[in-house]
A = this chain, B = another copy of it.
Amino acid sequence: MAALRAVGSTRAGEGRNSGGGGGMAPPSSLRIHAPSREPKARTMAGAGKVNNPRRRGGGGGGGHMPLWRVAVFASVALNVATLALLLHHYAATSPHHHHYAAAAVDWRDRSTASMAPSTGKPAVTPDSVINLDHGDPTMFEAFWRETGDAAEVVIPGWQTMSYFSDVTNVCWFLEPDLDRQVRRLHRIVGNAAADDGYHVLVGTGSTQLFMAALYALSDAAGDGDGDGEPVAVVSTAPYYSSYPAVTDFLRSGLFRWAGDADTFKGDTYIELVCSPNNPDGTIRESVLDSKTGNGKTIHDLAYYWPQYTPITKRADHDIMLFTVSKSTGHAGTRIGWALVKDREIARRMTKFVELNTIGVSKDSQLRAAKVLAAVSDGYERRPEMTSSSPTTSRLFDFGRQKMVERWSMLRAAVAASGIFSLPEETSGFCNFTKETAATNPAFAWLRCDREDVDDCASFLRSHKILTRSGEQFGADPRYVRVSMLDRDDAFEIFVNRLSSLK
């Protein structure tokens, strides 16, 4: 407000001091907050022209100015003053200026002037190394730039400082807004049951919830004395490379990676079912019969969204994991959620997150809630209320269109090259879009068929394409997993380079 008052007295002096009424100042809470858009104040054509007739003609007598002329001047001055106020305000709240700046302070340290959030991996050039090893979902940036401020979140300095979100909830650090938006989105998409029969738990990514589920399922007896052997953790190859790594890195006495579920013998286990699967995109089901024995199943449904696969049924497993990283693309926010039927399992998973990180960032939860709400809004709004195209407000439309295009480009490149192969395309009826749709997995499970290449990752690395070797997924090193989710420029360089490999 100080800046506005200063402006009022120095810039628009004539406007404020002239007769004819009060000024209109924007409320102090008005701020520019989208640094990528330069404010353009449209010029006020016509408002600056004032005829200044010297004739006396018309109303009023004597030597003083007639009222109507006063009104003209006052009105014009008001417009000029308002324009000046607004222009100064925009300049004052741009990223390169701040109310509290002290001239003596080193510019580099000035609190908000030098705030520059990161922008992910460095930009690529046609000659640079293309890193598609990780599923960094920057493909979705284009969509979120178009949504304007629908998904923007503002967090005042005093907000959500407590550890606690809802002390009456099993998951006491879960923000109720996120709980609500998660259930809402699942209801709209129809990909999972998220009614009152399920607890919603939040984690710092679904990775944390995966560990939490292992903890909850392996120590279900709750005696905590460590006498027993660690429970075997299995998944059908090719399995997500993080499963063995995350399971074993602390050499826990509670659970231990035991490899391929297809070859597992035993009746005490935790089976991980990822569907659509990471790395090969296939639709999976549990292979071990958990009814005969002491087996438990965790369903990782990170990719069970319309952009990757048709929504064929409403999943209703005991433990289902989802992540914002792959549904909306907000990997940096680090939010995953679990839908859990059993209250005791939910309680123990909550205990894991409590011991590991005393809960989950509430800032991230609120951002995720806003983002999920924007996704749901895109499908619940009446279509005629927006003039924007479906792909600028409907995330899954955008995503599916993008994945269709990219898989088409990839298949063309593979055909042009001749030394690679890809999984066959499958399709099914999607209950969400009410049409038949193909699967367009988030990763390409690419195999090199050239006889003299038995390590595809090394071969591609020599051509400056970084991928993740099939070995890390319990598969043959002729396979690699390639991210389909990077930015357009990186993906295009990749397919071009791939098509030239013979």
Residue of B nearest to A336 (CB): B357
Q: Beyond the given A24-B43, A33-B33, A332-B362, could you list 8 further A-B residue pairs with CB under 8 A, ordered by the A residue number?
A: A21-B47, A22-B45, A23-B42, A44-B78, A75-B79, A99-B150, A205-B357, A246-B355
Q: Which of B30, B41, B147 contacts A157 (CB 8 A)?
A: B147
Assembled-state Cα–Cα distance A58/B53 (Å): 8
- For chain A, which range describes its interface: under 10, 10 to 19, 20 to 34, or 35 or more residues? 35 or more
Q: List 20 A-B contacts (CB under 8 A).
A: A2-B388, A5-B387, A24-B43, A29-B33, A29-B34, A30-B39, A78-B79, A102-B382, A109-B180, A109-B184, A117-B362, A117-B366, A118-B162, A118-B362, A136-B162, A141-B161, A144-B158, A153-B363, A203-B357, A208-B357
The smallest C-beta distance from A385 to any residue of chain B, in angstroms, reads: 6
Question: Does A175 sit at the interface, judged by CB under 8 A?
Answer: yes
The smallest C-beta distance from A490 to any residue of chain B, in angstroms, reads: 12
The smallest C-beta distance from A187 to any residue of chain B, in angstroms, reads: 9
The smallest C-beta distance from A464 to any residue of chain B, in angstroms, reads: 16
Q: Which of B41, B112, B215 contacts A27 (CB 8 A)?
A: B41
Assembled-state Cα–Cα distance A90/B83 (Å): 18
Q: A104-B382, A252-B250, A370-B111 are in contact. Are A83 and B24 (CB under 8 A)?
A: yes
Q: Which of B117, B140, B145 contacts A175 (CB 8 A)?
A: B117
The smallest C-beta distance from A393 to any residue of chain B, in angstroms, reads: 8
The smallest C-beta distance from A106 to any residue of chain B, in angstroms, reads: 9
Chain A, 243-268, contact with B by CB distance < 8 Å: what is the 0/1 string? 00110011111100000000000000
The smallest C-beta distance from A452 to any residue of chain B, in angstroms, reads: 33
Chain A, 96-133, contact with B by CB distance < 8 Å: what is the 0/1 string? 00011011110011011011111111100000000000
The smallest C-beta distance from A81 to any residue of chain B, in angstroms, reads: 11
Contacts of A331 in B (CB 8 A): 161-163, 358
Question: Does A502 sit at the interface, judged by CB under 8 A?
Answer: no
Question: Does A327 sit at the interface, judged by CB under 8 A?
Answer: no
Assembled-state Cα–Cα distance A455/B380 (Å): 57
Q: Are B34 and A33 in contact (CB under 8 A)?
A: no
Contacts of A374 in B (CB 8 A): 111, 157
Question: Does A74 sit at the interface, judged by CB under 8 A?
Answer: yes
Question: Does A356 sit at the interface, judged by CB under 8 A?
Answer: yes
Question: Does A160 sit at the interface, judged by CB under 8 A?
Answer: yes
Q: Are A364 and B364 in contact (CB under 8 A)?
A: yes
Q: Are B380 and A109 in contact (CB under 8 A)?
A: yes
Question: Does A217 sit at the interface, judged by CB under 8 A?
Answer: no
Residue of B nearest to A99 (CB): B150
The smallest C-beta distance from A390 to any residue of chain B, in angstroms, reads: 14
Q: Are A27 and B31 in contact (CB under 8 A)?
A: no
Contacts of A440 in B (CB 8 A): none
Contacts of A164 in B (CB 8 A): 118, 120-121, 136
Stretch at the interface among A65-73, A288-296, A431-439: A65-73
Q: Are A358 and B71 in contact (CB under 8 A)?
A: no
Q: Which of B28, B152, B334 contacts A148 (CB 8 A)?
A: B28
Residue of B nearest to A135 (CB): B163
Q: For chain A residues 347-389, which have a beta carbon within 8 Å of chain B?
A: 352, 355-364, 366-367, 369-371, 373-374, 376-377, 380-382, 385-388
Report, nearest first, the 8 A-B pairs whose CB atoms are least far apart. A21-B46, A120-B162, A151-B157, A251-B253, A111-B373, A21-B45, A51-B68, A144-B158
Assembled-state Cα–Cα distance A86/B82 (Å): 12
The smallest C-beta distance from A274 to any residue of chain B, in angstroms, reads: 16
Question: Does A285 sit at the interface, judged by CB under 8 A?
Answer: no
The smallest C-beta distance from A232 to any residue of chain B, in angstroms, reads: 16
Assembled-state Cα–Cα distance A163/B138 (Å): 9
Q: Are B358 and A154 in contact (CB under 8 A)?
A: no
Contacts of A64 in B (CB 8 A): none
Q: A111-B373, A155-B367 are in contact. Are A161 and B177 (CB under 8 A)?
A: no
The smallest C-beta distance from A132 to any residue of chain B, in angstroms, reads: 13
Question: Does A226 sit at the interface, judged by CB under 8 A?
Answer: yes
Question: Does A10 sit at the interface, judged by CB under 8 A?
Answer: no
The smallest C-beta distance from A4 to any residue of chain B, in angstroms, reads: 11
Assembled-state Cα–Cα distance A494/B160 (Å): 23
The smallest C-beta distance from A482 to any residue of chain B, in angstroms, reads: 16
The smallest C-beta distance from A328 to any residue of chain B, in angstroms, reads: 9
The smallest C-beta distance from A397 to any residue of chain B, in angstroms, reads: 16
